[in-house]
Every structure is written in structure tokens, then in C-alpha cells.
Structure 1
Amino acid sequence: MATSLALPLAGKVAIVTASTQGIGLAISRRLAKDGARVVISSRKQGNVDKAQKQLQDEGLDVTGMVCHVGNAEDRKTLVTKTLERNGSIDILISNAAANPAMGNIFDTTEEQWTKIFDTNVKSAFFLAKEVAPHMQKKGNGNIVFVTSIGGYQPFELLGCYSVSKTALLGLVKAMAPQCAEMGIRVNGVAPGVIRTKFSAPLHTSTSIAEEVLKQVPVKRFGEPVEVAGTVSYLVSDDASYVTGETIVIAGGMQSRL
């Protein structure tokens, strides 16, 4: 019993996408510290190798592989190899996202729009669809989509990206009822501006950062580790009666559609 309390995710197998840096890396570290066997992934082998070594050197049970979530074969391989190595999949954290467009939303090209939605929404759903039958076998699975505060209050310079994150809020709600029948809980987290390489345009420019922080009551940017704990809670038994919800982690920023 003591071991279970100390390691709430002991015996669980987790996949985390886009997990070699930033929020994804922090989530992977936290899930592994909480007892899960974690499979990390990224588009580039070098990034996977670096993150895997870093986490393994910390004594964590982590393996990694290349996965471009926009590629159906890569998604299938990620699931297949995880099952071969670990025997099951209990947790999926869908964190991969793309944003090739910044500026006026009307300047977004059709190609950029397609890229953003293919990566941020379509790929997230189809990876969850790939994983769900394997979770159903155990009747105790968890899926968490990493959306964004921009899904509630769109960032002026990130219009298309923000809309894609709004779609993920809807995906959580749409999937939850059917997944509940399969023994799977589906939730989301909506980070605010977290200090990562991905969000650098919002916090490295002094003028932009000042404008963004006007919307943040705690008057600072978040750190990846501040997202990871909430994700670990959502996939643990402590959240066994929570599904179809998205938890905002944004320092008090407004979060109503």
C-alpha cells in the first residue's frame, strides 16, 4: 500500500507525444517519477536520443522512438512498438502541435491552415483512436489532450492555432461519453503562456511579453513543470470521477468561450 501511495502510476504505461522538450518533457518526467513506464517521441531521432538519455540518467523508466504524428504509419508504429516493449498502454498524452503562422488571421494561407489542423486536431484524434481499443481491454485508460488558453481566449497573433485548440476542447467533450463506455477517461489541460521554445514569440519579445502579462493576474509566465503535475493528477486514480473536462493552468487568465 505504501508503494502505491508513493507511486500513484506504478504499473502504468504512458505514451507522450512531442515529449523531448518543454511541456512534453516535463510531463514525461513527472509521469515516470510517479511510477509509469513512459514512451517519449519526437520527429527527430537526435532529440529522442538526447531526452531519453537525460531521463534515464535520472533513474527513470523511459524509452523513446521517432514519431511524426501527422504520419499514419508513424502513429501505428508508436502504438505497436509500445505494446511490444511494455505489454499494454494505459495513458496517452497528446501534446504534439504545430504553428507555422503568426500574425493577422486573414494572412493565414490554406497550406498553413491545413498543417495546423492536421497536426493539432486530426492527428490527435487518430492517435487516440489507435490507442483506445488497447486501453479498452484493461478497462482503465486515460487520454489527455494538451490544448491551450488560446482555445478559450484566442491570441491575436495566433488566430488559426487558437482555433485549433478550441477544437480540442470540443474533442474532449465529444469523445468522453463513448470512451466512458470503454473504461477510458478523456480530459484536457489548457496551459497559458508557458516558458518554452514553442512559445518563445510570446515571451522573448519585451513588447509582446508586456502585453501578454497584462492578461495574467499572477504577472508571470508559467513553467513546464507547473503543467506536469496536473496531467499526472488527471491520469491517476485521484481523478477517477473526472472525465470530459479541461483544466486551465494559466495564472488566472480568462477562460470562457
Structure 2
Amino acid sequence: KEEKNLASTLRGSNHPLSRALYNELKKNDILPALDDFKEVAGKGLISRIDKEVIKVGSPSFTSSQATQEEHIETAVHVNYNQHYKGKYTFKNKYRTGVDELFERLSKDYKLHVVSGDNAGEKEHLKDLLPSGVVLKFNQQPEEKLNYIKELQSQGARVMMVGDGLNDAGALAQSDVGVSIAENVNVFTPACDGIMDASILGRMDEVITLSRKAVNIINWCFILSLFYNIIGISIALSGNLTPVMAAILMPVSSLSVVAFTTIMTNYMGRKFSNKTSQN
């Protein structure tokens, strides 16, 4: 019964650890609805089923008497009706290609890893990631938000990539916020874009395409401005008749649409060819 209630509680969260544990426990019969559910950013989950209260999350949130050594583990602690029940310990497994992704990104960008997890993986990440990557652990949501504000106050333009409710404030504060989701149809914090987790390894390619898309938009503005300057010049000379104006007006819009379509298809094909060669 306790595992059933725990699995029902975890179902309402999109946090990676919650989803991982839920996938292990979902074989239990899941309750269709909870009497109450709340997710506390940076701490954990709390639910009520009948008169039973379940807390899932950090040691302090669940009243765990975790030792200093236990604090360096990646674990989810469970409290059931004000009684600490124990923890589920996770071993980190990094996505395939994440080291190559950081290596490519580090050539053009200053990279920071700002995590709410403990520092148990710090030494491993130092070996996995290229030199110069800033590593910060045990960061609460407010600390992530303040860290981005600090970078921006130094003149940096910040792109934040996050995957949970704990990152919502930081995603909103950053110049560009991208949320990584295993399932893009479930709840995702407010952000500028949502990326399927399966293509995270192509983040650098997405950034490159985005920059090219912005360039195409800028060229459209230039083309439109050039077109209107010519039209105004003809109008001021008195040679622009109403019939000619009626013809040229839709042609202006069509030319911009045509330019955008051609350039987008060209960039897309060029990108696809490059990807297939790699």
C-alpha cells in the first residue's frame, strides 16, 4: 500500500528523479486521483491520500537524519505519516555524447553547470567535461536565479538549459531559456523553447540553426526596407499610379515570403547534408 501511494504521488512530478523512481514503482496500482498534492521547488513533493501524508524529497524536507557522507549521494528520501521510511539511492548515468557536446560548445561559449544535486559527481565531471567549465552544486532555485542575474550584471548574455520546476525562475530570468523534457506533452516551466531530451546531444546544432534563422529574419527586414524605399521614391516622383500601387503592395509581401522560404529550405538542406556526413 505504501509503495502504491508513493508511486501515485510521484506521478504528479516531472522532476527527473521523481520520474525515474516512478518508472520503477508504476507496476503498482496507481490511484486515479490524490486528495492533495504540492511540489515545493528545491525540496520535494507532499501529498495526502485519505488521512495519510507522504513526503518525498530532500533529507531536510523528509526529516531524515542523513549523515554528511549520505549527503553526497543522489537520493530520494521518503516520509510516511511523519515517520521517516528510508531512501532510494540513484547512480548517475550521463546521456551518450554529453562530453562531446560540452567540448563543441566550449569552443564558442563559457559554460556553467549549476545543479541542485550534491557534489558527489564533481570529480567525475571534472574528468568528463573540458577544462574551464564552472561547476556549482547544492544550488537552491533562488541561488540559480541569482547566479544568472550576477552573470547578466557582468554583461553576459545567458542561455539557460534546465529540466525541472526547480529551474523555472532561472529559465525565465535568462536571455534564452530552454527546457529539456523526456515528454514534451507534460508540464514544463515557462521558457522560450522546449527541447526533446533525446536530441540534447545536438544542442550546438540547434543554436547554429537558430542564429541562421535570425539572420534570415534580419535580411527580410532589409529586403522589405529596400523595397519600400524604392516604392516611396517612385511615389514622390509622381510616377506611381493607383493601379501600380495595388499591384506592388502584395508583390512586396510575396517577395519576403518567397525569400524566407527559399533561404530556410537552403539552410535546412545544407544542415541535413552536414549531419548525414557526420
TM-score, scaled relative to structure 2: 0.35
Relative contact order higher in (CA < 8 Å, ≥ 6 apart): 1
Task: Name the structure with the higher strand share.
Answer: 2
